[in-house]
Amino acid sequence: MKGGKISDIFNNILLDLKNTEGVRMLELAGRDGFLIGSGYENDDSETLTLMSAAMLKAAENITSKLEHELPNRVIVDYNGGKIIAVNAGQKALISVLAAKDAALEPILSELERTAGKIKEII
């Protein structure tokens, strides 16, 4: 990707995750929740990433106090689907909105692989 915009590089990395069955929305953000790259940028994109950043921070606070460990991910399971937030290094996070009936294992597997690629860049 010589000479490509950084957002294009991130969006290409997100492509396999975007194409995973059951993924309805996918966003890459800084740990503050502001968008870096997007799989489906729309009006709800930044809301998803801002809330994901808050959930991850809260989970990190509680798990570090209780177990002195950081969480791998946060999953919110609600009637309309699942929201998954994963750290992608110290400066980024990936947020996924999955369909209600989506199989989590393929999504989580691809999400971890994608987060690893992002960690290498950021």
pLDDT at 2: 46
Taking the C-alpha atoms of residue 22 and residue 67, their distance in angstroms, rounded to an integer, is 32
> How would you write the pLDDT of the chain (122 residues) with one tens digit per residue?
444 566 678 888 888 999 999 999 999 999 999 988 776 667 788 899 999 999 999 999 999 999 888 898 999 999 999 999 999 999 999 999 999 999 999 999 999 999 999 999 88
Phi-psi category of 89—alpha, beta or left, where left has phi over 0 and alpha has psi -120 to 50? Answer: left
Domains contained in the chain, CATH given? 6-121 (3.30.450.30)
Give the orientation angle of helix 6-18 with respect to helix 104-121, to 10 degrees: 160
pLDDT at 1: 41
Residue 22: Cβ within 10 Å count: 17
